[in-house]
Amino acid sequence: MAVEVRLPMILQKVAGGAKTVKVEGKSIHEVFDNLEKNHHGFASRLFDNEGNLNHFIMVYVNNEDIRLQRGMQTELKDGDVITLLPAMAGGEDCCR
């Protein structure tokens, strides 16, 4: 069962320059595992040191934010489109 993953610029280099990749997986979790297997280097960009999804990476399944669904456990169907986008964010240094 394959889904399409659309990559932002900062992740395309990990996939050898590809804008989209086809990946197997029945959940976001499985898809991310397979992304790392196919293209080493994804995991370190997608997850923090504790293994949680990086808060500055947005993940959408067919245009729905997975954080408003079941997060990493969000289930997938054949042909689903997953879009990864980095946050557009910033702020002052005073207030970490």
Partner 1 sequence: MEMSLPFSRPWPAGKTAVAELKDRPESSFPLARRYADKMIAHAREEAPNECCGILAGPANEGRVEKLYHGINAEKSPVRYNIDPQQLLSIHEETEAKGWAILGIYHSHTHTEAFPSATDVRLAFWPDSTYLIISLKEQGEPVIRAFSIRDGRIEEKQVVIGE
Contacts to partner 1 by CB under 8 A = 8-10, 48, 52-56, 58, 60, 63, 65-73, 83, 85-96
Pick the closest to residue 82 from 58, 53, 62 (CA basis): 62
Give ∠ CA 47-30-40 in degrees, rounded to 5: 55
Min CB(86)–Zn ion separation in Å: 16
Min CB(2)–partner 1 separation in Å: 22
Q: How far apart are CA 60 and CA 22, in angstroms?
A: 15
Q: Choose one: 26-34, 55-63, 67-75, 85-93; the region binding Zn ion (CB under 5 A).
A: 85-93
